[in-house]
Each structure stands twice: as structure tokens, then as C-alpha cells.
Amino acid sequence: MEEKKIIFSGIQPSGYFTLGNYLGAIKNWTRLQHEHNCIFCIVDMHAITVRQEPKNLRQRTYDSFVQLISCGLDPEKALLFIQSHVPAHAELAWLLNCYTYMGELNRMTQFKDKSSRHSENINAGLYTYPSLMAADILLYQTDMVPVGEDQKQHIELTRDIAIRFNNSYSPTFVVPEGYFPKAGARVMSLQEPDKKMSKSDENVNAYITLLEEPSVIMNKVKRAVTDSDNQVRYDIKNKAGISNLIDIYSSITGKSIQDVEKEFSSTGYGQFKNAVGEAVVEILSPIQKRFKELSKEKDYINQLIKEGAQKADSRSYKTLNKVMRKIGLYQVK
């Protein structure tokens, strides 16, 4: 039998996850948890690299945890925790900062992008975001990191840091591989289908959150930007809007793109959009039901959050200690 791989991924506590987060990441995680040794982390320390309202951040972090479980992540199978609860992340991030070059951080497109969008607050945390992410991954001797294509550069940097450290001392970190799943990988904005679907979009019709009312979902899909030739055909270049809807439908139903085209070959966009909307409502409805029930079980959820932190703490300290010893930080046995 193939050996179980260690899989790590992180998600920002955006509060209400979008359909893009679900189809592109979380749904895939629920599958991986049965086959591998999975660790999923809510990265609240990454979130504060841009300004957050304290009350919102607190609530969103809690809601994010409840949503991961509502989506089917099982704390008995996967390790789920909140980044700031496990001090080794910040500690290793500092150490790795000393093995990361400014030249490397300067090249990160996410940094360039975010600093132009938040020009009033280009803080050092935003700059060293990638070394915190490297710490997240390397602490657990991760083999594989499932992420979106937009994180490719950060994974490359993580690998470079790991290799650099291993070569300077002796093998310490597993050098992780990025894993960029294709199915449902990139759900695009419903309004500007050449942009990724994002909760930070100022146009609320651009995204669907996991907790949206069925009537709102149907409406947002109905209003999704398409084109005028009324043919349900996959063509990202010329028909980005329709292609996005085909992707969503195919990812939810498991039907191939060709089969979806066939199914709707003689219907117009109206009927197709109706089917897409219904499929989204149907897949989200059990998640919403569980979320409603679980949100009220605060003691139970907090217990899960605590247990996750304890488990992550004891696993991560092994690597952190090893790193400190190799660097030459004085330790008393």
C-alpha cells in the first residue's frame, strides 16, 4: 500500500467562504482526509497583514472553523486548528526570516499586488508573509500542499528555503511539493469572469458565499455575465462567463464538460443558469443546515479548537526544536 502523505494547507479566516473556496479547496480537502495525514489551518496571523476590525476577525475565525466542519472536514480524521494558537508558527517564521533573502521577497507578486492595493499600510508582516507560510508548511514535515495556482510562487520559495536550510546544516525539512488540483480549481467572478471569485470583491453579485439564501443564489447565477450567442459551449477565451458556469456545474455534478455541453445543447442560457443555480443550492443546503446547528454548540466547537491546537502544538515543537539546535541556539536538556 502506498504510504500516507502528510498534507498541509491553510485558509484565511474570511468568515463566509465562497463557492470558489469550497469547490477549489475545501471539497478537495474532505476527500484527501480519508487517504492521507491531513492538517488544515486557519491562518489568522496571515490575515492581520492587512487591517482587520478586531470584532470581525474574532467572529470570522470562529465561523471559519465551524464552516470547515460543516463542509465535512472531520476533526477525528484531519488536524484542524487556528494558526495563532500554536506558537511554533511565529517562532519558526522568525528563524526562517533569517534564511530568506529580501531579493526573494521583493519578487513575490502577491506582495507587489497587495502593497499596491494597501499603499497606506505596507507593513513588514505583509512583506514576510511568505516566510510565515513556509513555517506553516515546514513545521509538519509536509509532503504535499494543495493550493490554488496563485500560491505557486510561495510554494517555490518554501522549497528554496527548505533546501537552503538542509544544505547549510543537515537534512531537517521535507521539501514539500505543491499540488494544484484541476477539478473546480478556479471558480471565477460571476461579474468579471477573468478575475478569481473573491469575497473582497466590492460587487456582491460577483461571488456566492456558502451561507447564502437559495433565492439569492438563484438570482446571482441568473445575473452572471455571459455573452450573446446563447450557446452553452466551453471556450474560456471568448466565452469566459459561460465557461465558468460550466466549470461550476461540472464540478458539482461530476459530469464532464462535454457531457454538460451535450445536456444543454438545445437549451438557451436561461434554462442552463437555472440548472446551475439549483445545483449550487442543492450542494450548499446540507452545509448550511449543519452550520446552523453547529454554530450554537459553542462549547463543543471551542473544545475542538482547543484539542486541535494541542495536537498541532506537540507535533510542531519537534521540528522547531530540531531547527533551533541545528542553528546553534543554546538549549538546556
Q: Are 191 and 205 in contact (CB under 8 A)?
A: yes
CA distance 295 to 291: 6
Q: Are 11 and 43 in contact (CB under 8 A)?
A: yes
Is there a catalytic annotation at residue 27? no
> How near is the Cβ of 76 to ligand TRP at its closest, in Å?
22
> How near is the Cβ of 48 to ligand TRP at its closest, in Å?
12
Is there a catalytic annotation at residue 311? no
Which listed residue (5, 55, 77, 196) is catalytic? 196
Cell of 76: 477525528
CA distance 240 to 222: 15
Residue 153's alpha-carbon distances to 34, 113, 145, 230, in angstroms, are 28, 13, 13, 38
196 versus 239: smaller Cβ distance to ligand TRP: 196
145 versus 224: smaller Cβ distance to ligand TRP: 145
Is there a catalytic annotation at residue 4? no
> How near is the Cβ of 133 to ligand TRP at its closest, in Å?
4
> How near is the Cβ of 43 to ligand TRP at its closest, in Å?
4
> How near is the Cβ of 12 to ligand TRP at its closest, in Å?
6
> How near is the Cβ of 40 to ligand TRP at its closest, in Å?
9
Q: Are 90 and 49 in contact (CB under 8 A)?
A: no
147 versus 224: smaller Cβ distance to ligand TRP: 147
Q: Provide the binding-site residues for ligand TRP, judged by CB under 6 A.
A: 8-10, 12, 43, 46, 133, 136-137, 145, 147, 151
69 versus 133: smaller Cβ distance to ligand TRP: 133
129 versus 264: smaller Cβ distance to ligand TRP: 129
Contacts of 240 (CB under 8 A, 6+ apart): 188, 193, 194
> How near is the Cβ of 323 to ligand TRP at its closest, in Å?
17
Which listed residue (55, 77, 112, 199) is catalytic? 199
126 versus 240: smaller Cβ distance to ligand TRP: 126
Report which residue's Cβ sits closest to ligand TRP.
Answer: 10
CA distance 113 to 119: 10
140 versus 264: smaller Cβ distance to ligand TRP: 140
Type of residue at 22 = Y
Which listed residue (4, 27, 112, 114) is catalytic? 114
Active site residues: 114, 196, 199
